[in-house]
Amino acid sequence: MSAEFAPWDEPDAVPLIKVENVTKRFGSFTAIDHIDIDIFPREFFALLGPSGCGKTTLMRMLAGFETPSEGRITIGGDDMAGVAPNKRPVNMMFQSYALFPHLSLWDNIAFGLKREGMEKDKIAARVEEMLKLVQLGKFAKRKPHQISGGQRQRVALARSLAKAPKLLLLDEPLGALDKKLRQETQFELMDIQERTGTTFVIVTHDQEEAMTVASRVAVMDHGKLIQVDTPQKIYEEPNSVYVADFIGDVNLVEGRATAVGEAAEFVWGEGQPSLVGMPGGGVQADRAATFAIRPEKIAISRDEPEARNRVHGKIIDIGYLGNLSTYHVQLPTGAMLTCEVGNRSRVARRDFTWEDEVWLSWTETAGMVLPS
């Protein structure tokens, strides 16, 4: 993704998909709650959220299998109300794969092309290309029940890519793949996206995946959109405790915001020095607030450091994760902070050990003060 690709910041960019104030109810249950999203051409848009938050439902509304109870969806400027799934410029890869069990892999992939009335030899060429892409060429004659779960997932991916649609909806496309194949396929997807200019909307449970592939990430909870932003902003500037906690590891400290301006001051715990961080999520002075700080932004030292934010505590637990070590430090108030330190030298230089008294510190811009 090139650095300047940011159509969402350009006022006159025209979105490919406009979701306007859409609500979906199943009986009395609200699966999607007043959602607004603009997705731009050539975006790789990731939907992230816990199970049951409505990701699949949103995709199904884009594909045309569910009708919004309220609101409007337009694709390429056309109102999609009443437009049947087969008339939409959209292909979807289903969470359950939905491969046709009575057809060979070859015929599964050719299915959509045949409906288009493409010439026979063009179909053959396209299918071969797709099979090669997902590395299943030698299984072309097999039926779906004769291949593994991960292979099925790749066939489903190939089938949805075959028609080269303007918009491709992928519902957890890589969940069943092992890590190596998943990374390969992620890069393959990004490559396809770059070559074909297809717009992707992808659902994933895997935040690392969302971070790797997406131009923007939407974090959902209970049918609501909590934050839509670039992966970096989602990570560095979450707008709520929910997002901070959902994406990556974070230390959360309960307290109160005292002054909010360029920076925000935060008080907590009896006798503890105040902390300073970036204000976020519309935090207000003299309200309950939460201080959020990522473990890798905390430095650990034996002597009292100069930094503005510093706390004193005792090491309770040490985790060795190969490339880094984590220290769990208990503060006098009983709160626990986790800090992560990269292991640069191979020789285990045990600077700190259990029960050691240490200082934790971080800069004024490293943490966020968010409304509780």
Partner 1 sequence: MTRLTPFNIVSLTLGFAFLYIPMLVLVVYSFNSSKLVTVWAGFSTKWYGELFRNEAFLEAAWVTVKVGFFSSTLATILGTMAAYTLVRRARFPGRTLFSGMIYAPLVMPEVITGLSLLLLFIAIGLDRGVLTIVLAHTTFSMCYVSVVVSSRLVTFNQSLEEAALDLGCTPFEAFRAVTLPIILPAVAAGWLLAFTLSLDDLVIASFTAGPSATTLPIKVFSSVRLGVSPEINALSTIIIGLVTIGVVTASLVSKRAISRRAAEERAAET
By CB under 6 A, name the binding residues for ligand ATP. Answer: 26, 29, 31, 49, 51-57, 95
Per-residue x/- track, 74-113, Mg ion (CB under 5 A)? ---------------------x------------------
- Residue 163 touching partner 1 (CB under 8 A): yes
CA 225 distance to own-chain centroid: 13
Per-residue x/- track, 63-92, partner 1 (CB under 8 A)? xxx------------------xxx---xxx
Q: How far is the CB of 118 from partner 1 (least distance, A)?
A: 11
Angle at CA 166, nearest 5°, toward 165 and 169? Answer: 75
Residue 62 or 339 having the CB closest to ligand ATP: 62
| Residue 163: contacted member of partner 1, ligand ATP, Mg ion, none (CB under 5 to 8 Å, by partner type) | partner 1
| Residue 54: contacted member of Mg ion, partner 1, ligand ATP, none (CB under 5 to 8 Å, by partner type) | ligand ATP
The burial class, CB within 10 Å (0-12 / 13-18 / 19+), for 147 is middle
| Residue 52: contacted member of partner 1, Mg ion, ligand ATP, none (CB under 5 to 8 Å, by partner type) | ligand ATP
φ, ψ of residue 370 to 5 degrees: the values are -120, 150
- Residue 141 touching partner 1 (CB under 8 A): yes
Residue in 68, 112, 279, 280 binding partner 1, rule: CB under 8 A: 112
Burial 283-308 (b: 16+ CB within 10 A, else e): beeeeebbbbbbbbbbbbeeeeeeeb
- Contact indicator for 293, 322 with CB cutoff of 8 Å: no
Longest dimension (CA), the chain: 78
Residue 146 or 284 having the CB closest to partner 1: 146
Residue 5 or 65 having the CB closest to partner 1: 65
Q: How far is the CB of 143 from partner 1 (least distance, A)?
A: 8
- Amino acid identity, residue 365? T
Per-residue x/- track, 9-48, partner 1 (CB under 8 A)? ----------------------------------------
- Residue 153 touching Mg ion (CB under 5 A): no
The whole-angstrom separation of Cα 15 and Cα 334 is 49
Which range of residues in 55-63, 69-77, 186-194, 279-287 is near Mg ion by CB under 5 A? Answer: 55-63
Residue 66 or 296 having the CB closest to Mg ion: 66
- Residue 111 touching partner 1 (CB under 8 A): yes
Residue in 39, 56, 163, 315 binding Mg ion, rule: CB under 5 A: 56
- Residue 142 touching partner 1 (CB under 8 A): yes
Residue in 44, 139, 235, 246 binding partner 1, rule: CB under 8 A: 139
Q: How far is the CB of 143 from ligand ATP (least distance, A)?
A: 26
Give the binding site for partner 1 (CB under 8 A).
Answer: 63-65, 84-86, 90-92, 94, 96, 98-102, 111-112, 115-116, 139, 141-143, 146, 159-160, 163
Give the binding site for Mg ion (CB under 5 A).
Answer: 56, 95
